[in-house]
């Protein structure tokens, strides 16, 4: 294995692991954590305090994962390839657009929706929770599609 092949393998591993961490954390939050919190905490205010404590500082882990996905993806795209077909270029452009859309959406959720949640009245929380579930589902779909396109990009 030459240096270029080793670099491709290392960047691919970094790219896949960072994407898996991002996808996995969202999947866990949506399908495991939020459903079980309702069973454990009967009081919505108590549940909300726990969620806010749990999420405190977590956005920076996701920012790191998003940055690793983006930087390793750029590195992979810049490595020499046997052929860069038009299909491959289209897949990479869609991947970049999805990553950018996901990052902007994450920024919106983290720096706008969370602060609004901090100051929400208890009566406002059900609507806020619904908005978060929909937003999280959208991000999960975007990140999942991006991962699927990464696999397709290896085919083209």
- Reduce the DSSP state of residue 79 to 3 states and report it: coil
Instruction: Please tell me the pTM assigned to this model.
Output: 0.86
Name which of 95, 94, 103 is nearest 139 in CA terms.
Answer: 103
Tokens representing 25 are 């954390």
Model confidence at 1: pLDDT above 80: no
Site of tokens 């810049």: 78
Distance of CA 114 to the CA centre of its chain: 16
Going from N- to C-terminal start, the domains of the chain cover: 3-155
Over residues 111-142, the pLDDT tens digits come to 999 888 888 998 998 899 899 989 999 999 99
Tokens representing 54 are 């749990």
Model confidence at 60: pLDDT above 80: yes
Over residues 11-41, the pLDDT tens digits come to 999 999 999 999 999 999 888 988 888 788 8
Model confidence at 10: pLDDT above 90: yes
């Amino acid at each position: 294995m030459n240096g270029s092949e080793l670099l491709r393998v290392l960047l691919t591993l970094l790219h896949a692991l960072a994407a898996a961490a991002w996808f996995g954390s969202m999947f866990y939050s949506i399908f495991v954590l939020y459903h079980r919190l309702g069973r454990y905490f009967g009081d919505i205010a108590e549940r909300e305090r726990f969620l806010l404590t749990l999420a405190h500082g977590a956005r920076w882990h996701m920012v790191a994962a998003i940055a690793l996905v983006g930087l390793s993806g750029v590195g992979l795209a810049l490595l020499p390839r046997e052929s860069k077909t038009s299909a491959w270029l289209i897949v990479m452009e869609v991947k970049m657009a999805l990553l950018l859309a996901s990052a902007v959406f994450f920024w919106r959720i983290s720096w706008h929706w969370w602060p609004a949640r901090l100051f929400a009245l208890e009566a406002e929380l059900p609507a806020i929770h619904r908005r978060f579930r929909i937003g999280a589902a959208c991000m999960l779909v975007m990140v999942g599609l991006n991962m699927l396109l990464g696999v397709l990009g290896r085919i083209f």
